[in-house]
Amino acid sequence: MSASEKVLKAMKEIGKPVRPGDVAKKLNIDSKEVSKAINELKKAGKVNSPKRCYYAVV
């Protein structure tokens, strides 16, 4: 499972808009990795940003 898949799965489990740091804590990985994965997911149209610094699954 790639980092972006793990991040997407964690975001679905949380079920509300989250900050990259929250996902990083849940997955126990560096928040930079999470931010990178979120950027990939944004380009793929799988997540969006409902408000500044928060991301949600589309």
Residue 46 confidence (pLDDT): 97
The tens digit of pLDDT for each residue in 6-19 reads: 999 999 999 999 99
pTM > 0.85 = yes
54's tokens: 């928060």
Domains of the chain, CATH where assigned: 3-57 (1.10.10.10)
Residue 14 confidence (pLDDT): 95
The tens digit of pLDDT for each residue in 11-40 reads: 999 999 999 999 999 999 999 999 999 999
CA 55 to chain centre: 6
Task: Report whether pLDDT(1) > 90.
Answer: no
